[in-house]
Amino acid sequence: MRDKDHVLPERLRPGLKLVFCGTAAGRQSALQKAYYAHAQNKFWRTLHAVGLTPRQFAPGDYPALWDLDIGLTDIAKFAYGMDHQLPKESLGREATEALRARIEKIAPRHLAFTSLTAGRAVMGKGAMPGKQHDTIGNTMVWILPSPSPLADNHWDIAPWRALARAVRKLP
């Protein structure tokens, strides 16, 4: 589905230690106007389980991540739905270059893609889960297993734990 405005508000600013980036808002997220809003999505539980948040946040609490220097965005800002439902250009060159420009401008310490699809759209088809060798500007890049219930067969919390350890090492 398409929207003329951002489906979810951009949560980027300079000084962030971490930005999470998905492909696009899912249907529930678009309806609730909150990131990772599907009841079975593991995103919020995982952030707490790996120690990135002091409590388990609800999707509507997403603005409070700024207090922890964590931001949120998506590659496709004007479309929502499952990856296979998105218009092809939503994850194409123009969208990925726009994401790179936004990340280079605010220069967070870490950028974590919340799915292999998102990570490969930006980092290349051969990218694998985990910390990437390539950076975006000075930003370290991670590709994490998707917390979506549709990706349960590929779920692994280990890369999320590795990211959390790296983020906690920051001053």
Three-state DSSP string of the chain: CECCCCCCCCECCCCCCEEEEECCECHHHHHHCCCCCCCCCCHHHHHHHCCCCCCCCCHHHHHHHHHHCEEEEECCCCEECCHHHCCHHHHCHHHHHHHHHHHHHHCCCEEEECCHHHHHHHHCCCCCCEEEEEEECCEEEEECCCCCHHHHHHCCCHHHHHHHHHHHCCC
- pLDDT tens for residues 14-25? 999 999 999 999
How would you classify the pairing of strands 139-143 and 110-113? parallel
The answer for 85, left when phi > 0, alpha when psi is -120 to 50, beta otherwise, is alpha
Count of CB atoms within 10 A of residue 86's CB? 21
Residues pairing with 94 in the sheet: none
What is the pLDDT, as a whole number, of residue 110?
A: 98
Question: CA-CA distance, 91 to 39, in Å (whole number)?
Answer: 25
**Which pLDDT does position 88 carry in this prediction?**
84
Q: What integer pLDDT is reported at residue 152 of this predicted model?
A: 86
Cα Rg for the chain, rounded, in angstroms?
A: 14
The token pair at 121 is 């759209």
Name the pTM for this structure: 0.94
Q: Express each pLDDT in 41-75 by its tens digit.
A: 999 999 999 999 999 999 999 999 999 999 999 99
Domains assigned to the chain? 18-168 (3.40.470.10)
